[in-house]
């Protein structure tokens, strides 16, 4: 309220929620410059990610993998935030809930699954896929996103970086430090906030008092924008502008996408303890997949039959990835000791030899070492 | 009650006795904590004494330091060991030094509850051994209960202590077993170790989660080799109960130290140095240490390879007994 009293400005008006599609799929904003094939490609990703996410949460609940962080409900953000990035040139810095965006960037589904199954090898992004490993410490990756963008700028490359963070993460010092550094050094960095309303159990109202998160851009004198995070085309539109600006030397942007996670924070969490069924249903009524499907159908470029085929395709894709991930042998003792340093220290070599001998003595060696 | 219930009970007992005691942290209020350690506290004491803070460890640990200076008795919850790192600045540069820097004018009597160590198959940064970060930092007391009775008594003692106390909780044991815990207020004095098992043939030093591992190995040693191991549960890491530790070492002359931290620079190293200082001439064998490895804590599939188990402790027992 203080902001309004001091400035006479209403922050919600100053940072209006950018929307292109209404929940019923009708167009309210300017149609983004996307071909029918691109629109279908976006929708294909949304459906695939929803399918992947639901299957993964089930695997976690069945004990077939460990603790899982679902993004269900946030698919438009996961796709839209990275859709315009140039593979092999631009970089993303994900949280544990951004494994959808990671896949759009080119990380194989199998790796994401192995990561949540508890295998270090799942953290690997193939060569040419510029995805930083998942950062669990909150908001820390944003400063890295600034650093990579800064380095690219210093080296004369026109690469762009996107750092992901949630609403809770905006309370961490690193969030503010990243914005300030990006601003001062005019780095090509987009800080993409998925405001899904809850930091585990803590609602926005207990997290920050400002009416928007986008307005924090004002303090750092950079562009800030608020977007309907359930509207795939709006996220695409906002990110197109931010990416183009960053690439052409215009510096950083803070994006606040208003969204909702349908599921728990992670598998052991029970969201019924802190939010209502009504709230969930309200957000499910704004579902990004439904919205996109209605839009495509109204546009006359999509049919129910194609939709059924798409869901079947997504299911097949995910089934294949799960089968591949589950067929992978357990990580070995080497996976535990490899990559601590460029070359193992003598002490590490001693420790590895000890553990190997111990496991062999206990009859557990065979399954745990590479041949 | 279980260990987590004992922690919950201690918090409620302390808050009923002293209106200055309050809890703060992420999800500790309405949600009752990610491990449910603070379950029911919001309901009983309200939002001013069970405070859901914004997501910022540096923020709520630093603010709690201010509260403590002003006369409140804050108990903060760090959700998982690895997440104390953002607040490290406040712990080492301020909380530990406020009494010293202000020449005794101010003090910082607060408790930092840290669910510690592995064994619950969690994601990265949720299973760390961080006690050595703070053992090398004067001004902090450090306790590490291994059972429900000590968990309650040590937490009450920590809350009442005039100095800041880091309270390391064995998250793997939260619901692992039950024990009798008195309903009323009591304390387990800070600075006193306990003999968890009597023995004459060797000493095992452990704390927190690995007292259980030590006891398991001690049983195995007794049954298979007829060696009676004395298990010393340190309970407090700073200030250490040297009398009990060194007394046991002098009695048995053979020592195994068990921790879960990486091998280099761990708290085990300090224990061995102290034995060297105070009881070298009583040793019949070099002290053996059972530890983690000098690698980041593995993801869940390899977690069991990293964690000390009774088998590895048994190997160490063999080594000190057959030296």
**Co-location of B152 and B203 in the same domain:** no
Q: Is residue B162 part of a domain?
A: yes
Contacts of A129 (CB under 8 A, 6+ apart): A87, A88, A105, A106, A107
Helix %, strand %, coil % for chain A, to 5? Answer: 50, 10, 40
Using DSSP's 3-state secondary structure scheme, residue A224 falls into strand
Question: Minimal CA–CA distance to B207: which of B144, B266, B148?
Answer: B144
**Co-location of A43 and A143 in the same domain:** yes
**Co-location of B298 and B214 in the same domain:** yes
- Nearest 10 degrees: CA dihedral of A176, A177, A178, A183? 90
**Co-location of A59 and A144 in the same domain:** yes
Chain B residues within 8 A of A337 when measuring between CB atoms:
293, 295
pLDDT value at A366 more than 80: no
pLDDT value at A369 more than 80: no
Q: Is residue B58 part of a domain?
A: yes
pLDDT value at A362 more than 90: no
Look up residue A131 and give its DSSP letter: B
**Co-location of A152 and A255 in the same domain:** yes
Mean pLDDT of A164-172: 98
At A2, is the pLDDT very low, low, confident or very high (cuts 50, 70, 90)? confident
Mean pLDDT of A59-74: 97
**Co-location of A22 and A86 in the same domain:** yes
Q: Is residue B183 part of a domain?
A: no
Q: Which of B142, B173, B204 is the last residue of a domain?
A: B173
Chain A, nearest residue to B314 by Cα? A358
**Co-location of A323 and A344 in the same domain:** no
Residues B192-242 have pLDDT tens digits of 999 999 999 999 999 999 999 999 999 999 999 999 999 999 999 999 999
Mean residue pLDDT across chain A: 95
**Co-location of B200 and B73 in the same domain:** no
**Co-location of A159 and A118 in the same domain:** yes
* Chain A CB within 8 Å of residue B82 CB: yes
**Co-location of B142 and B14 in the same domain:** yes
**Co-location of B46 and B109 in the same domain:** yes
Q: Is residue B51 part of a domain?
A: yes
Task: Tell me if residue A226 is catalytic.
Answer: no
Measured CA to CA, the distance from residue A94 to residue A345 in angstroms comes to 31
Q: Is residue B182 part of a domain?
A: no
* Chain B CB within 8 Å of residue A208 CB: yes
Measured CA to CA, the distance from residue A360 to residue A349 in angstroms comes to 16
C-alpha triplet A86, A88, A94: angle, nearest 5°: 80
**Co-location of A355 and A256 in the same domain:** no
At A371, is the pLDDT very low, low, confident or very high (cuts 50, 70, 90)? very low
DSSP letters, A167-219, are TGGGGSHHHHHHHHHHHHTT-SEEEEEEE-SEETTEEHHHH--SS-STTHHHH
**Co-location of B291 and B216 in the same domain:** yes
Mean pLDDT of A222-243: 98
Please give the ipTM for the structure prediction.
Answer: 0.94
Question: What is the pLDDT at residue A370?
Answer: 47
Q: Which residue has the tokens 């931010």?
A: A242
**Co-location of B34 and B107 in the same domain:** yes
**Co-location of A341 and A321 in the same domain:** no
Helix %, strand %, coil % for chain B, to 5? Answer: 40, 15, 40
- Nearest 10 degrees: CA dihedral of A111, A117, A123, A129? 20
Size of interface A-B (CB pairs under 8 A): 124
At A363, is the pLDDT very low, low, confident or very high (cuts 50, 70, 90)? confident
- Nearest 10 degrees: CA dihedral of B80, B82, B83, B88? 130
Task: Tell me if residue B268 is catalytic.
Answer: no
Q: Is residue B180 part of a domain?
A: no
Question: What is the pLDDT at residue A7?
Answer: 84
At B186, is the pLDDT very low, low, confident or very high (cuts 50, 70, 90)? very high
Contact A118 B121 (CB under 8 A): yes
CB nearest A274 (choices: B30, B263, B300): B30
pTM confidence score: 0.95
Q: Out of A314-318, A366-370, B147-151, B254-258, which region has the weakest mean confidence (pLDDT)?
A: A366-370
Residue A112 near residue A100 (C-beta atoms within 8 A): no
Around Cβ B243, how many Cβ atoms within 10 Å?
A: 12
Residues B74-87 have pLDDT tens digits of 999 999 999 999 99
pLDDT value at A5 more than 90: no
Measured CA to CA, the distance from residue A85 to residue B192 in angstroms comes to 59
pLDDT value at A367 more than 70: no
Considering its fold, how many domains does chain B have in total?
Answer: 2
**Co-location of A340 and A263 in the same domain:** no
**Co-location of A216 and A231 in the same domain:** yes
Question: What is the pLDDT at residue A257?
Answer: 98
Query: Which ranges in chain B belong to alpha helices (H)?
Result: 3-17, 41-45, 57-70, 88-89, 98-101, 131-135, 148-160, 210-225, 242-252, 267-279, 303-306, 310-321
Chain B residues within 8 A of A175 when measuring between CB atoms:
none
Measured CA to CA, the distance from residue A307 to residue A46 in angstroms comes to 12
Q: Is residue B246 part of a domain?
A: yes
Question: What is the pLDDT at residue A1?
Answer: 60
Measured CA to CA, the distance from residue A141 to residue A13 in angstroms comes to 30
Residue A57 near residue A263 (C-beta atoms within 8 A): yes
Using DSSP's 3-state secondary structure scheme, residue B194 falls into strand
CATH code, domain carrying B66: 3.40.50.970
Question: What is the pLDDT at residue B134?
Answer: 98
Q: Is residue B200 part of a domain?
A: yes
Print the domain residue range for B152: 3-173
At A30, is the pLDDT very low, low, confident or very high (cuts 50, 70, 90)? confident
Measured CA to CA, the distance from residue A74 to residue A70 in angstroms comes to 9
Contact B296 A340 (CB under 8 A): yes
Q: Name the catalytic one among A99, A197, A211, A265.
A: A265
Question: What is the pLDDT at residue B298?
Answer: 97
Question: What is the pLDDT at residue A365?
Answer: 58
Chain B residues within 8 A of A122 when measuring between CB atoms:
299
Greatest C-alpha distance within chain A: 75
**Co-location of B167 and B209 in the same domain:** no
**Co-location of A48 and A108 in the same domain:** yes
Print the domain residue range for A222: 2-327
Mean pLDDT of B258-286: 98
- Of chain B, the percentage scoring pLDDT greater than 90 comes to 100
CATH code, domain carrying B271: 3.40.50.920
* Chain A CB within 8 Å of residue B121 CB: yes
Contact A137 B312 (CB under 8 A): no
Residues A178-204 have pLDDT tens digits of 999 999 999 999 999 999 999 999 999
**Co-location of B19 and B134 in the same domain:** yes
Write out the two tokens for B202.
Answer: 């060797």
Q: Name the catalytic one among B90, B126, B210, B268.
A: B126
Residues A109-149 have pLDDT tens digits of 999 999 999 999 999 999 999 999 999 999 999 999 999 99
Contact A333 B305 (CB under 8 A): yes
**Co-location of B164 and B22 in the same domain:** yes
CB nearest A120 (choices: B56, B298, B315): B298
**Co-location of A45 and A139 in the same domain:** yes
**Co-location of B239 and B124 in the same domain:** no
Chain A residues within 8 A of B300 when measuring between CB atoms:
66, 117-118
Considering its fold, how many domains does chain A have in total?
Answer: 2
**Co-location of B35 and B108 in the same domain:** yes
């Amino acid at each position: 309220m203080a902001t309004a009293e001091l400035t006479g400005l209403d922050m919600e008006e100053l940072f209006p929620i950018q929307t292109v599609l209404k929940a019923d799929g009708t167009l309210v904003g300017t149609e983004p410059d996307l071909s029918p094939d691109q629109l279908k490609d976006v929708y294909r990703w949304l459906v695939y990610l929803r399918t992947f996410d639901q299957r993964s949460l089930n695997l976690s609940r069945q004990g077939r993998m460990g603790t899982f962080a679902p993004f269900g409900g946030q698919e438009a953000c996961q796709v839209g935030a990275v859709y315009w990035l140039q593979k092999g040139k631009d970089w993303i810095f994900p949280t544990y809930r951004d494994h959808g965006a990671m896949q759009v960037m080119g990380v194989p589904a199998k790796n994401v699954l192995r990561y949540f199954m508890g295998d270090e090898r799942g953290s690997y992004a193939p060569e040419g896929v510029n995805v930083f490993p998942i950062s669990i410490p909150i908001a820390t990756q944003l400063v890295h996103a600034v650093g990579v963008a800064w380095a690219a700028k210093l080296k004369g490359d026109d690469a762009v970086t996107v750092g992901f963070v949630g609403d809770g993460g905006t309370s961490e010092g690193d969030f503010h430090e990243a914005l300030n550094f990006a601003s001062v050094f005019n780095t090509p960095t987009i800080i993409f906030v998925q405001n899904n309303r809850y930091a585990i159990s803590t609602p926005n109202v207990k997290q920050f008092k400002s009416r928007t998160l986008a307005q924090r851009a004002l303090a750092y004198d950079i562009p800030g924008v608020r977007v309907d995070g359930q509207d795939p085309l709006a996220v695409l539109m906002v990110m197109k502008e931010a990416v183009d600006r960053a690439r052409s030397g215009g510096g950083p942007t803070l994006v606040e996408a208003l969204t909702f996670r349908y599921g728990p924070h992670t598998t052991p969490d029970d969201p019924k303890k802190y939010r209502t069924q009504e709230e969930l249903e309200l957000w499910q009524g704004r579902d990004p997949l439904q919205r996109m499907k209605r839009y495509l159908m109204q546009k006359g470029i999509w049919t129910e039959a194609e939709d059924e085929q798409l869901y079947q395709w997504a299911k097949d894709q995910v089934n294949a990835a799960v089968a591949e991930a589950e067929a992978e042998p357990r990580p070995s003792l080497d996976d535990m000791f490899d990559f601590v340093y460029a070359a193992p220290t003598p002490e590490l070599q001693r420790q590895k030899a000890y553990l190997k001998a111990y496991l062999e003595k206990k009859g557990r060696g065979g399954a745990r070492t590479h041949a | 009650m279980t260990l987590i219930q004992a922690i919950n009970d201690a918090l409620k007992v302390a808050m009923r006795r002293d209106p200055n005691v309050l809890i703060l942290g992420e999800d500790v209020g309405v949600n009752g904590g990610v491990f449910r350690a603070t379950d029911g506290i919001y309901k009983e004491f309200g939002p001013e004494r069970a405070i859901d803070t914004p997501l910022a460890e540096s923020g709520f640990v630093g603010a709690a330091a201010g509260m403590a200076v002003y006369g409140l008795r804050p108990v903060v919850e760090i959700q998982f060991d690895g997440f104390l790192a953002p607040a490290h600045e406040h712990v080492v540069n301020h909380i530990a030094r406020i009494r010293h820097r202000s020449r005794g004018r101010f003090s910082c009597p607060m408790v930092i509850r840290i669910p510690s160590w592995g064994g619950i198959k969690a994601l990265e940064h949720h299973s760390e051994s961080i006690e050595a970060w703070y053992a090398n930092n004067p001004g902090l007391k450090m306790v590490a209960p291994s059972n429900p009775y000590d968990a309650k008594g040590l937490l009450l003692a920590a809350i009442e202590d005039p100095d800041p106390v880091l309270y390391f909780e064995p998250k793997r044991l939260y619901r692992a077993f039950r024990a009798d815990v008195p309903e009323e207020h009591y304390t387990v004095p800070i600075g006193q170790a306990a003999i968890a098992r009597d023995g004459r043939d060797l000493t095992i030093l452990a704390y927190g989660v690995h007292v259980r591992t030590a006891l398991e190995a001690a049983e195995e040693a007794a049954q298979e080799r007829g060696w009676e191991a004395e298990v010393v549960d340190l309970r407090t890491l700073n200030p250490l109960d040297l009398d009990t530790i060194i007394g046991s070492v002098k009695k048995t002359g053979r020592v195994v130290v068990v921790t879960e931290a990486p091998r280099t620079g761990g708290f085990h190293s300090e224990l061995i140095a102290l034995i060297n200082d105070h009881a070298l001439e009583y040793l019949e064998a070099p002290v053996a240490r059972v530890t983690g490895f000098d690698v980041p804590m593995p993801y869940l599939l390899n977690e069991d390879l990293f964690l000390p188990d009774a088998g590895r402790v048994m190997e160490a027992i063999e080594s000190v007994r057959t030296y």
